[in-house]
């Protein structure tokens, strides 16, 4: 393998001086920024450290994780339903899905959060009955039914569903039509085909952008501050309103957001591997065999 051939190319590698220059500039800038944080008289390090593991802050960070996971799960389930509706041949289902996606993508998330948070002001009571008649099965006070955490989850998941529906639809469309035909020819019905044949293959395309959505969702939970959900941003804000250490608590919140987004990126790698099975680019088994095959030649 390492035997020298007389016609081997032995050349002096090309020099890349600009890589070195840019690396030095980057190092200076980055180092300067870190130093400024460390040396600034306006940042009290003791305060940062004190609140980093404060039980109130940790509790709020935990709530942020729960809000993210619940909203994302509900959003993803709704997204699959919406995507199927939009791809269906039923014109009414298609219309409803298009309208839904248009509405929830077309208005700011902040506006939607406030809407669900203050729903009680618009509709003090929620009534289950038949419209335009006196028939009422049951009624609730909106405030009882929708505490701010639930309103927040509703806002985030309904909004997420609209975005994720398009991701799921793209995933389903990416699967070769021959797959559906093969499934049909084997007597599989459309529901079974979707569940067992199309969606598992669509997942390859769906997962990477859904990872993005997951991280966006985690950060968007900060919007729930406006309806008084005590998640991480709201809690650190509340603490700094009392002790006036705004910058320190922003650093604390930023630190935990970074930790959480980093940890939540781990399952993505796992899922990508799992659903990449059988597709050559991701199949390690296949790679080994190819290497072996080459070795034999």
**92-101 b/e with 16+ CB inside 10 Å = b?**
ebeeebeebb
Q: Does 294 bind another protein (CB under 8 A)?
A: no
Q: Which two structure tokens, joined as six digits, stand for 213?
A: 């959505």
Using CB under 8 A, which residues numbered 262 to 281 contact another protein? 275, 277-280
Q: Does 103 bind another protein (CB under 8 A)?
A: no
Looking at 150, 186, 258, 291, which residue binds another protein (CB under 8 A)? 186
Looking at 126, 197, 226, 271, which residue binds another protein (CB under 8 A)? 197
Which of 161/198 has CB closer to another protein? 198
Q: Which secondary-structure segment (H or E) carries 201? A: helix 199-220
Which of 45/184 has CB closer to another protein? 184
Whether the CB-CB separation of 227 and 152 falls below 8 Å is answered with yes
Which of 87/188 has CB closer to another protein? 188
Looking at 52, 58, 96, 188, which residue binds another protein (CB under 8 A)? 188
Which of 263/289 has CB closer to another protein? 289
CA 182 to chain CA centroid, Å, is 33
Q: Does 286 bind another protein (CB under 8 A)?
A: yes
> What is the C-alpha to C-alpha distance for residues 253 and 221, in angstroms, rounded to an integer?
13
The candidate with the shortest Cα–Cα distance to 217, out of 60, 67, 106, 62, is 67
* Cβ neighbours around 152 below 10 Å, total: 27
- Residues forming contacts to another protein in the complex (CB under 8 A) are 176, 178-179, 181-182, 184-190, 192, 196-197, 200-201, 275, 277-280, 283, 285-286, 289
């Amino acid at each position: 393998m390492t035997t020298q051939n007389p016609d081997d190319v032995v050349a002096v590698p090309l020099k890349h001086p600009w890589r070195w220059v840019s690396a030095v500039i980057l190092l200076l800038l980055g180092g300067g920024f870190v130093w400024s944080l460390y040396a600034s008289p306006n940042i009290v390090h003791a305060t940062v450290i004190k609140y980093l593991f404060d039980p109130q802050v940790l509790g709020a960070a935990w709530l942020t994780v729960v809000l993210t996971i619940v909203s994302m799960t509900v959003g993803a389930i709704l997204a699959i339903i919406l995507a199927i509706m939009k791809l269906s041949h039923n014109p009414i289902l298609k219309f409803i899905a298009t309208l839904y996606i248009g509405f929830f993508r077309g208005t700011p998330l902040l506006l939607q959060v406030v809407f669900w948070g203050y729903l009680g002001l618009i509709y003090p009571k929620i009534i289950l009955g038949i419209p335009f008649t006196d028939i009422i099965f049951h009624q609730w006070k909106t405030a009882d039914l929708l505490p701010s955490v639930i309103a927040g989850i509703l806002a985030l998941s309904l909004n997420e569903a609209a975005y994720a529906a398009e991701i799921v639809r793209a995933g389903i469309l990416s699967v070769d039509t021959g797959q559906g035909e093969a499934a049909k020819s084997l007597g599989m019905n459309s529901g079974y085909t979707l569940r067992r044949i199309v969606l598992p293959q669509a997942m390859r395309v769906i997962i990477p952008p859904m990872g993005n959505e997951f991280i966006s969702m985690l950060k968007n939970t900060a919007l729930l501050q406006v309806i008084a959900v005590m998640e991480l941003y709201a809690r650190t804000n509340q603490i700094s309103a009392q002790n006036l250490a705004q910058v320190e608590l922003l650093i604390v919140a930023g630190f935990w957001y970074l930790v959480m987004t980093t940890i939540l990126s781990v399952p993505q790698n796992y899922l990508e591997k799992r659903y990449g099975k059988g597709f050559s680019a991701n199949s390690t088994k296949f790679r080994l065999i190819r290497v072996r095959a080459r070795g034999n030649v």
